[in-house]
Structure 1
Amino acid sequence: MADEMIAVSGITKTFFTGSEPSRVLDDVSFTIQKGEIVTLLGKSGCGKSTLLHMVGGFTKADQGQVLLDSQQVQRPTKRCVMLFQQRNLLPWRSVLKNVELGLEGEKLSADDKKERVLDALKLVGLEQHLHKFPHELSGGMQQRVAIARAFAMQPDVILMDEPFAALDTFSRYRLQDELVRIQSQKKTTILLVTHDIDEAVYVSDRVLIMSSHPGKIYKEMKIAQTKPRDRSHGDFHYFRKKILDEFELSGVPNTSEYSI
């Protein structure tokens, strides 16, 4: 399809602990359209991070393939950027220089590079903190720097591996708001990994619910709610409950692990 950005087809992956095989992913297939935010939702150990790394070209599948804009993913590229829970900021570099790091090696003039970096920092509200160092920033601000660095690279896809999990609830909410706002402007395709149901419902266009042992896409759910969303609205709680019910049906216990 012309608007298909990511196509995952028949992905299978087995790891070995000693001589014992462990099937992590089994025949996983899904597609993501350009400009969508799609979430892989599941408990720890269901293979969602492994799957994310395969989309990014960091891990090879035993079987199946991943296409990025109709091209098979063989290795990591700057068209598809990974954003981790760890900010991976260099402590000796300022906010400005940490964001510039993502543009090293690009064929850009110094003025173009600076303009792109400043635009990204304005997007996340850090234009007044250009010359601060990571240790001078809160955890939420550090993650904003990492988000700015990703968007400054102007990738087609951003892969996010539980990027807000280490933050307090209010910082997490603010950054979820920022992510939705920025993505609505830039129309970047985002694939997010989380085990937080509230986060999945709040930011996603679609949620892919994964079951475990081995990991599979158990259910696809479209979140038919306009953005930005109201966490107190009845529709929000409807989708939240619907996902919790699906976890019970998939054989994944419905416990507080899946809610805030």
Structure 2
Amino acid sequence: MQQQIIEVTNVNKSFQNGKQIINVLDRVSFHVEKGEIVTLLGKSGCGKSTLLNMVGGFEKPDEGSVILDGKSIKQPTKKCVMLFQQINLLPWRSVLKNVELGLAGEKISREEKNERVMEALKLVGLEGHLHQFPHQLSGGMQQRVAIARALAIAPDVILMDEPFAALDTFNRYHLQDELLRIQEKKRTTILLVTHDIDEAVYLSDRILIMESHPGRIFKDIPIKLVKPRDRAHGDFHYYRKKILEEFELSGDQFVPEYNI
């Protein structure tokens, strides 16, 4: 039996908009096992990013619990790092210095720091670009720097909030493959938010379909396909169709993104 590294139990969350109380999440429960890639999939406003922020320690539930590796999450921790759609590299720092930033404040030797930074950069294929600056890199390469910075921290969990949404199709596909290659080697647990059904099917071990107003987990769908996956295969299209049918059953009108 695999270890559950993330446990979300009966989480409720509301926000106030003027005099109106908006119920964003209602009795949300799910778990993620160590080494899994699990995707939260749903239309805008269903609470996906709010859930991700709770797991990251940036938001707190009104009710319920969010547990990371057996401990209640009170604040952000380096055991669990977040990758955003906005890459957030410092433009005045080189690739090397941006990745080193993830280890700021760590009580480790300079030698160990260098080893971790270089290992992370080699994993994402950027060891030949150490002294370039963000403006000299493509969008895909910038995202690889951000991934390397997260990997250098050696977290147990990486949270990803639509990290490839701003990239063109070819860069997105390439980085999806890179992510799978790295995740297979490091066995890092990944919790991903996306609007892209193809991306969810391609990457995920399980997909959690969310309905909205308020946000709930409507369906937990295991993706029983060997990785790497063939987007043109009939089995891939079977899962795509199944997910669209589940959205129809949930009552949400979901407009999928297709990358063909």
Mark yes or no: TM-score above 0.5.
yes
The residue type paired with residue 162 of structure 1 is E
Listed one character per residue, the Cα deviations across residues 201-220 of structure 1 (whole Å, up to 9, x for unaligned) are 00000000000000000000
Q: CA deviation at 1:259?
A: 3.1
Q: How far apart in 2 are the matches of 1:52 and 1:79?
A: 14
CA distance in 1, matches of 2:2, 2:32: 12
Whole-Å separation in 1 of the counterparts to 2:200 and 2:234: 16
3-state secondary structure, aligned to 1:226? coil
Letter in structure 2 aligned against 1:63: E
2:258 maps to: 259
Any gaps of 5 or more consecutive residues in structure 1? none
* Aligned residue number for residue 196 of structure 1: 196
Aligned-pair identity in percent equals 70
Moved over 2 A (4+): 257-260
- Distance in 2, matches of 1:201 and 1:251, equals 21
Question: CA separation in 1, counterparts of 2:217 and 2:251?
Answer: 13
Tell me what 1:114 maps to: 114
In 2: Cα distance, 1:210 partner to 1:123 partner: 33
2: CA distance, partners of 1:248 / 1:90:
43
Match of 1:221 in 2: 221
- 1:2 CA drift (Å): 6.3
Q: Which residue type is aligned with residue 71 of structure 1?
A: K
CA contact (8 A) 1:11 1:27 kept: yes
Give yes or no for the alignment of 1:83 onto 2:83: yes
8 Å Cα contact 2:32/2:38 also seen in 1: yes
Aligned residues between the structures: 259
How far the C-alpha of 1:107 sits from its partner, in A, is 1.1
2:27 and 2:216 in contact (8 A); partners too: yes
Deviations 1:105-141 (A, max 9, x none): 1111111101110100010010100000000000000
Who is 1:152 aligned against?
152
Q: Does 1:11 align with 2:11?
A: yes
| Rounded Cα–Cα distance in structure 2 between residues aligned with 1:97 and 1:109 | 16
Q: CA deviation at 1:70?
A: 0.8
**5 Å matches for 1:32-71?**
32-71=32-71
Mapped contact 2:96–2:117 kept (Cα < 8 A): yes
Q: Does the 8 Å contact 2:40/2:209 carry over to 1?
A: yes
What CA distance in whole angstroms lies between the structure 1 residues aligned with 2:218 and 2:139? Answer: 34
In the TM superposition, what whole-angstrom CA distance separates every residue of 1:205-252 from its partner, at most 9, and x where no partner exists?
000000000000000000000111111111111111110111111111
Q: CA 1:214 to 1:258, structure 2 compared with 1: closer, same or farther past 3 Å?
A: farther
For the residues of structure 1 that align with 2:36 and 2:145, how far apart are their CA atoms? 23
Give the TM-score of the pair, scaled to structure 2.
0.98
**Quick check: 1:37–1:190 contact (8 Å CA) kept in 2?**
yes
Query: What TM-score comes out, normalization by structure 1 length?
Result: 0.98
**Contact 1:15 1:23 survives alignment (8 Å):** yes
Over the aligned positions, Cα root-mean-square deviation in angstroms equals 0.9
Q: Distance in 2 between matches of 1:66 and 1:11?
A: 8
Q: Deviations over 1:141-160 (max 9, x none)?
A: 00000000001100000000
- Determine the structure 2 residue equivalent to 1:239: 239
CA-to-aligned-CA distance 1:15-73 (integer Å, 9 cap, x gap) = 11101011000000001100000000001111000010001110011000100011000
Q: Cα distance, 1:253 vs. partner?
A: 1.3
The one-letter amino acid of 2:46's match is: C
Shift of 1:254: 4.0
CA distance in 2, matches of 1:169, 1:24: 31
Secondary structure at the residue paired with 1:125? coil
Contact 2:43 2:254 in 1 (8 A): no
Q: Is the 8 A contact 1:43 1:258 kept in 2?
A: no
Query: SS in structure 1 opposite 2:51?
Result: helix
- Is the contact between residue 2 and residue 34 of structure 2 (CA under 8 Å) also seen in structure 1? no
Amino acid at match of 1:113: K
What CA distance in whole angstroms lies between the structure 1 residues aligned with 2:172 and 2:186?
21
SS in 1 for 2:247: helix
Q: Distance in 2 between matches of 1:168 and 1:45?
A: 24
Pairing 1:205–2:198 present: no
Report the equivalent of 1:20. 20
